[in-house]
Amino acid sequence: MRLPLLAVALLAATAASAAPSYGPELQGFDYPYPVRRHAFASQGQELSMAFMDVAPERPNGRIVVLLHGKNFCAATWGDTIGVLAQAGYRVLALDQVGFCKSTKPTGYQFSFQQLATNTHGLLAALGIAKATIVGHSMGGMLAARYALMVPEAVERLVMVDPLGLEDWQQKGVPYQTIDAAYAAERKTSAATIKAYQLKFYYDGQWKPAYDRWVDMQAGLYAGSGAERVAWNQAQTSDMVFTQPVVHELDRLRVPTVLMAGDKDRTAPGANRAAPALAETLGRYDRLGSEVAARIKGARLVMFEGLGHAPQVEAPDRFHEALLRELSAP
């Protein structure tokens, strides 16, 4: 059942003293498959993207690329990688620049166009001309931008609880400067991460399995690269808030699937909005059908009773739906 607010606060507080500490590129946190690195130059810097590339035992000739959310990493896709590989797909799960095991750059201008370009460069370096792109949360926004920029490289687009199904600025959410966001990021802890996810991601219901993903994120904030991590997170928060893709979704011309939990209430910046406005934001139970109707030929999959991360919250249900949609004509 849903936890009362006091219980939520107490549960979150238990994480405060238990947070691990990881290196600036998530050193010390194990990924489920071997990690490779793609080195490249961007904006005058030498950078690298970490990724997992998992080959199936019985290939079906298709490739799936998994893009993580802002509060997630490629490792979060671990179970999904195994399921897809078992079904015959070659699977790549990437860490974007500024996140997880990839470079945390200084003076970098983050944009969805830049991250899409980085992603396309990695796939080109691997000789991959076309793939199904699956993006979750922020990765869903990135996946949409990727499909808009290089539709010829996209076999199918799958957005899983993508951020940006609404334009928060347009609706009146106040802007937050990167400096202010950085100050807030520096206060991030396992306790604040857990409290946020419990409220917005999981409808007040926590499972012990979620702790690993809290530790993964909190360990970066607690480690030796904490300042750089916080700055990159502030920059990418600004990117998410100021670079909506929702107004362009009607231009998508690739087969598209939108998947969402009807309990998802994620809305970056809602904490800065007036209470009356905040109550209307992040209503994925409404946004799913509204947005899918704007995308030509889009298929909508709503997960009843699930929140922002169905692949974590109910992996069996999620994977059954994902495999079904990937095999659809």
- Residue-wise pLDDT tens digits, 308-322: 999 999 999 999 999
Q: What confidence score (pLDDT) does residue 18 get?
A: 59
* Cα gap 90→78, rounded to integer Å: 14
In this prediction, residue 128 has a pLDDT band, given cuts at 50, 70 and 90, of very high
Q: What confidence score (pLDDT) does residue 329 get?
A: 86
3-state secondary structure at position 202: coil
pLDDT at 17 over 70: no
| Cα 1 from chain centre | 26
- pLDDT mean over 151-158: 98
Across 88-122, b (16+ Cβ under 10 Å) vs e yields ebbbbbbbbbbbbbbbbbeebebebebbbbbbeeb
pLDDT digits (tens, 9 = 90+) for 41-59: 999 999 999 999 999 999 9
- pLDDT mean over 95-110: 97
- pLDDT mean over 218-227: 96
Q: What confidence score (pLDDT) does residue 189 get?
A: 94
Q: What is the share, in percent, of the chain residues with pLDDT greater than 70?
A: 94
* Cα gap 209→202, rounded to integer Å: 12
Exposed/middle/buried for residue 149 (C-beta within 10 Å: 0-12, 13-18, 19+): middle
| Cα 226 from chain centre | 20
pLDDT digits (tens, 9 = 90+) for 73-99: 999 999 999 999 999 999 999 999 999
Show the DSSP H helices in the chain as ranges: 5-13, 78-86, 112-125, 138-149, 168-171, 178-185, 190-200, 211-222, 226-242, 275-278, 284-292, 310-313, 315-326
- pLDDT mean over 141-155: 98
Exposed/middle/buried for residue 303 (C-beta within 10 Å: 0-12, 13-18, 19+): buried
Q: What confidence score (pLDDT) does residue 221 get?
A: 96
What's the pTM value of the predicted model, to 2 decimals? 0.94
Question: Which of 6-15, 19-28, 299-308 comes out lowest in average pLDDT?
Answer: 6-15
pLDDT at 9 over 60: no
Tokens 């590339």 sit at which residue? 53
Q: What confidence score (pLDDT) does residue 248 get?
A: 97
Show the DSSP H helices in 20-137 as ranges: 78-86, 112-125
- pLDDT mean over 212-230: 96
Q: Side-chain half-sphere of 216: how many Cα atoms within 13 Å?
A: 18
